[in-house]
Amino acid sequence: MHACICRFFVENNLSLDITPQSLKTQLTWFNSYLESVGCRDYKSTPKQCGAVFEDALFWVGEIGANDYAYTLGSNVPAKTIQRLAVSTLTTFIQAMLHKGAKKMVVQGLPTTGCLTLALYLAPPDDRDAMGCVASSNHQSYAHNAILQSNLDILRRRFPQATIVYADYWNAYKSVLTNAKRYGITQLYRACCGSGDAVLNFDVFTTCGSPAAATSCPDPSQYINWDGVHLTEAMYNAVADKLLNGTFSRPPFRSLLRAARAA
């Protein structure tokens, strides 16, 4: 999933071995579905839109991570990606609210500098106190700060909606810095991969390739699954912090209260 549209990658001479479906494309698909059930917007077709949105929870995942990753090492400034990614995401959320969305969770970016891929690509002197890539973590933190500011504006514009910000960045950091509590012993090494003993990662022979066809014996001890994605154990720990902990603002239970009050 990309925030930037495919044309952006073409215009900047960035080759991808996938078809990058953008957030805008997914919104177009969703709008086609809404039109098929008679929902134009909540103001003009409240009954039809209400049938779709009233009891629905929309969880918008970490949008922008792929855009940063695929432009790494290119001539495209990170600030450009930041501006486009946050703007596209904000426009998407606003469109959903106009349609009638009442309960939304918007997830920020994680500490992208702690991913095995980032550690593999960055020079060893680019590290922060967590042992992660400082520049990447600063980038994702700044991205999240702008996103949260935009969400505050949308909350004022759409007071009838409950918009929760899921703080993926600090939830990830909390698990990483308290890893032993979760039975995690490998903070940066990929469970499935190939390469040196430290990271078990090679960008040319990633998990699933002939040279990296097997995984580690116990993925529950790892944060990273394949260098880019996380293990089930890590996702479970982060999800618990977002749903039951203090890393969602307002707390996730506010959505439950809103649902009961509807």
pTM listed for this prediction: 0.88
Q: List, for residues 249-258, the tens digit of each pLDDT value.
A: 999 998 888 7
Q: Residue 137 in contact with residue 113, Cβ under 8 Å?
A: yes
Q: List, for residues 122-173, the tens digit of each pLDDT value.
A: 999 999 999 999 999 999 999 999 999 999 999 999 999 999 999 999 999 9
- The contacts of residue 92 (CB under 8 Å, 6+ apart) are 23, 24, 27, 60, 63
Q: List, for residues 204-238, the tens digit of each pLDDT value.
A: 999 999 888 889 999 999 999 999 999 999 999 99
CB atoms within 10 A of CB 25: 15
CB atoms within 10 A of CB 161: 19
- The contacts of residue 242 (CB under 8 Å, 6+ apart) are 107, 166, 167, 168, 171, 248, 252
In the chain, the domains with their CATH numbers are 6-261 (3.40.50)
Which residue, 162, 164, 153, is CA-closest to 261?
162
Q: Can you give the pLDDT at residue 22?
A: 80
Q: Residue 66 in contact with residue 140, Cβ under 8 Å?
A: no
